[in-house]
Structure 1
């Protein structure tokens, strides 16, 4: 049995298209083999598309607001049984949606993401998979909680200003109006960074500048997040919240959601692996074709290729097809990868490779399978 489980080739081919191309290439060499397509993702961009392809369900749309409060629409998805929703936060608070105006790092918030979650709750889901990243906001997730009914008040009892810039005025959090469904469902937040909430490696310091924050704004946002953690911790240990790896992702979204909603923060690839049933899908595989845009040392640390390798049977051959291969054959073998092949047929620029990505992925998969066939034929081929 052959399983095709790639990530997206960013800007060139989505995971479903890449999986189909790998499958076509494999079928050229093993026409009678059982070939399974399993588009995969690491919890970042493309996760919604990958999960919908595996679940076989259509995307849904909802009217929301962007990070600056302007009306827009966002996509989300439901599992086939309707119990699980997948949300990409950047659909509502992403940088691209606000790139038409000057960036406003202290005003931008996550309220629109909460509106997507509210619609998912209306759909009756039992679990929300929240994929974060690419955000324009640094509000610690307070916007999401506001959309679900929480109120963040200043010392006069008035709601504080939206966005990270208002956090320093926070005196109390009123969660009496919080939608009870929001606390009843299971939340899992996919992260692919280990940055803490505050400090030199925190949400504001590391990611604030790309959202338009100058040094003064970074300092205010960092102080505001630290203050939010203190209020959420109450008499507890605020340092536990500010220092937890991953809490600095997407402007600190995990902070408020873990404190108020009991959300779990998990590596994105692990969350997606469970959602698509990766271990079960790979259990009988003789050959696994995986891949991504650039295969390098980072690919082996919690990304798609690493997850596929970790869940594949020890007896399976694992071949990586990528736009760029940055590891030597020895490094691949040491990492448990049988081989890694670039789709570049020769000297070519990125634009050319992107334009022909699916064609080149298919051809490279066929080459890989021919090499495998020269050594041994998958057990299910011909059966």
Structure 2
């Protein structure tokens, strides 16, 4: 019997791909696939956060629903590269996570962001015994239901929390300049810095490229919206202005990524209609392609060195497709492909 489940987690790096198949996770390399040891995990894997390599080891964090798992990934170990070292639960659903770099051996700090504008700042150590301690519970003054969050920053002090809620609003807050402190419970309350009415429905994805001053949001109003974003000083002084809305999907736009090629910035969106759309930074639609056999597309990933686009869906597939030729296409050369056809050298399907 073959089990078919949603593929909700996807992380594409230069050396490997991490995929969440239901409540399991698999690491794919060009030569092998390794299933991660997650014991009897009940919740689905929605996302990954990975530390930088330290002494040939990464801390890998998996999260989904109200549970998370921590694993040590030893890149030099070929037979059993993963060691499950901690599993935890939260009181609210987790919708984003980040692991911070630090110089302390066997100690990592990381953040779990919840779906109601609260986050846990945690420290994990395996020096003498396995310990996961709370450093801070941070809460925003806005507690609306969030469907997508981006955690932007290299450390906790500079962290920006960029979210989209169920009302189509775009929100930004930060973890400094608290307006209320509960020292006993390690709880701090922070003000909302920015609120913008962005869409006529739920915001499902947010991506930004500060160097190119581009921010992109997608929604169940079927639009891919481009924003100009400028940040010179603190996030509270950030300038965010709408540029244009693009319509290439016929249903909810579930995911998007911002990619670079040859010094140019492109946006790739994936929808419930099973299509991926590729846009240039002027909003021109360069490619529209059915990618997942009619199934909704949940996640997108991009391998820059090979110009390969990866997508996941509700039917358990991860599909790869080379888009190298799309970057040289002129804006009036739109290609629409309804049938992905048989497997070719530029297309792979992993089950």
Both proteins in one fold, TM over 0.5: no
Q: Choose between structure 1 and 2: higher helix proportion.
A: 1
Give the TM-score, by structure 1 length.
0.30
Higher strand share: 2
Higher relative contact order (CA 8 A, sep 6+): 1
Q: Could you state the TM-score of these two structures normalised by the residue count of structure 2? A: 0.32
- Point out the structure with max Rg over C-alpha: 1
